[in-house]
Chain A
Amino acid sequence: NAGVTQTPKFQVLKTGQSMTLQCAQDMNHNSMYWYRQDPGMGLRLIYYSASEGTTDKGEVPNGYNVSRLNKREFSLRLESAAPSQTSVYFCASRSGGVGETQYFGPGTRLLVL
């Protein structure tokens, strides 16, 4: 049981390049999330998916797209990377039932030059 996994761990992009961050969970959770974490800004929600086949914008969706490929996988795409997207990106999935806890992946550290 790996929990939430993310690839890649690190990435350097040039301005204008595109890339997809991958996330997968093996806990059979319905809801999945993408956050970015920046110094002094805490965690900000980019997009979330309440269930397979649905996605919704979070607090800072501009410049990003997502795909909920199936129940396990939720990817985040940067179509044309900008330096302002330099950040650490975390994927999370949420359990149901008591507590409804979010479980986080280890993060992807992205540098856009």
Chain B
Amino acid sequence: GEDVEQSLFLSVREGDSSVINCTYTDSSSTYLYWYKQEPGAGLQLLTYIFSNMDMKQDQRLTVLLNKKDKHLSLRIADTQTGDSAIYFCADRVNAGNNRKLIWGLGTSLAVNP
């Protein structure tokens, strides 16, 4: 079946790089997304990658996709305390005539000063 898995917690020191990992199972993935949720707020799109890409870079964010292993990662360079949040990986899959997002449970990132 369709599933997206993430580790639940990550703790880093301010200034270090953070790497959040995600694995997915579906073979019909077209887009994979990273969303950020700050405390008490909704989800905010950080970035997405098309499934035929290996890498996407956007300022401090680098997304790596290994389609063979169905593994997605989000690297945040020079992590700041403002990056403390929950990060969700989501996989867009085809479901008959519709498309749907399969969500991971989220990785809580704690940035220590």
Query: How many cross-chain pairs have Cβ atoms below 8 Å apart between A and B?
Result: 42
A107 contacts which chain B residues (CB < 8 A)?
41-42
* Most chain A beta-carbon contacts within 10 A, residue among B99, B101, B106: B101
Give min CB distance, B55 to chain A, whole Å.
16
* Contact-residue bracket for chain A: 20 to 34
Could you tell me if A42 and B43 are in contact, using CB atoms closer than 8 angstroms?
no
Could you tell me if B103 and A43 are in contact, using CB atoms closer than 8 angstroms?
yes
Using a CB–CB cutoff of 8 Å, the interface residues on chain A facing chain B are 4, 40-43, 45, 48, 50, 56, 90, 92, 98-107
25 A-B pairs in the complex with CB atoms less than 8 angstroms apart: A4-B42, A42-B88, A42-B103, A42-B104, A42-B105, A43-B43, A43-B103, A45-B101, A50-B98, A98-B50, A99-B31, A99-B48, A100-B31, A100-B92, A100-B99, A102-B33, A102-B43, A102-B45, A102-B101, A103-B45, A104-B35, A104-B43, A105-B42, A106-B41, A107-B41
Apart from A42-B103, A102-B101, 5 more pairs, CB < 8 Å? A43-B43, A43-B88, A50-B98, A98-B50, A99-B31
